[in-house]
Amino acid sequence: MRAYRLTKAGAAPALLDIPVPAPGPGEIGLRISACGLNFADLLMIEGRYQDTPEPPFTLGMEVAGTVTSLGPDTTGPAPGTRVAVFGGQGGLAEAGCFPAARAVALPDAMSFTDAAAFQIAYGTSHVALAHKARLQPGETLLVLGAAGGVGLTAVEIGKLMGARVIACARGADKLGVARQAGADHLIDAACDDIREACRGLGGVDVVYDPVGGAQFKAAMRACRPEARLLTIGFASGEVPQIPANHLLVKNLSVMGLYWGGYLNFRPEVVTESLATLFDWYEAGRIRPHVSHVLPLDRAAEALDLLRSRKSTGKVVVTPSEG
């Protein structure tokens, strides 16, 4: 089978032919129909992600496909079942083996493309806003990087939760996507003063930040007393250094959110969140925004869309049909 693999640290990934793996105990074999890309995939290539496997490994954190086989002492899901799986690696391939416990059966109406774009982006935003920040109806939510993979879902979920949503992104096209997702107010990060724009709107109660750097600093200065700031990631490349005295004066709270980490110490948080999100999908309340769908032999191009900030929402790679 074909797989897009990182063979050693510092090397460029490559599309290789490798044997089809056999599932071990507690695993399922999967024919992979779609793989959602994430900024973390880029960090893995650079060796800068907190959960980067030791090379060699196949890139691709979240997948959707059809179960083909079960490993020893594995009871399900049964072969033929359509599932989505957050595997952490292994998705950019025509087939793979993944933990059966992480496989989520798909609603009949959900396409593989939607499923591959669903878990990390929606899961991160829902756990961040509902579980960590306890976002309340009527509060003001500022979403940085609002047209990106996780940012766009934060706009959508924040609006569903009854917040007034301020979306911050670069350029009219990306801001238009955020408006379609439900944003009430728009800030162009390329030319607007984030702090002054937010203060002109009365300040913010919750900041959702996958960007870091100068945008985090500006957002913090626009916070109302007792605001909560969610650090989701650092797409800017700069991890902000937070002045504790500013937190003290305004009684601010800064909260880190690593969605995958909950699978290790409180998996029920993820399970309950995904149940809610799949219910919302079936009810037509949320729909993934996928700007690009490319075949496996264009995986490098797909990753470059993330690297160059040319995508909105999610980029999905389709290793096999069906």
297-308 per-position pLDDT tens digit: 999 999 999 999
Residue 3 confidence class, pLDDT cut points 50, 70, 90: very high
Percent of the chain with pLDDT over 70: 99
| pLDDT of the residue at 175 | 97
Is 296 a residue whose pLDDT tops 60?
Answer: yes
Residue 10 confidence class, pLDDT cut points 50, 70, 90: confident
Backbone φ and ψ of 290, nearest 5°? -115, 110
| pLDDT of the residue at 141 | 98
Which residues, other chains included, contact 306 with Cβ-Cβ below 8 Å and sequence gap of 6+? Answer: 37, 38, 39, 41, 42, 149, 315
Mean pLDDT, residues 108-134 = 97
Is 20 a residue whose pLDDT tops 60?
Answer: yes
- pTM for this entry: 0.94
Which residues, other chains included, contact 239 with Cβ-Cβ below 8 Å and sequence gap of 6+? Answer: 212
Q: Give the count of beta carbons closer than 10 Å to the beta carbon of residue 159.
A: 17
pLDDT digits (tens, 9 = 90+) for 28-58: 999 999 999 999 999 999 988 888 899 999 9
Mean pLDDT of the chain: 96
Domains and CATH numbers, the chain: 2-118+288-318 (3.90.180.10), 121-259 (3.90.180.10)
| pLDDT of the residue at 201 | 97
| pLDDT of the residue at 322 | 52
Is 25 a residue whose pLDDT tops 90?
Answer: yes
C-alpha of 216 from chain center? 19
Residue 9 confidence class, pLDDT cut points 50, 70, 90: confident
Burial class (CB in 10 A: 0-12, 13-18, 19+), 283: exposed
pLDDT digits (tens, 9 = 90+) for 141-162: 999 999 999 999 999 999 999 9
DSSP assignment letter at 298 = G
Is 321 a residue whose pLDDT tops 70?
Answer: no
Distance CA 193, CA 64 (A): 40
| pLDDT of the residue at 76 | 86
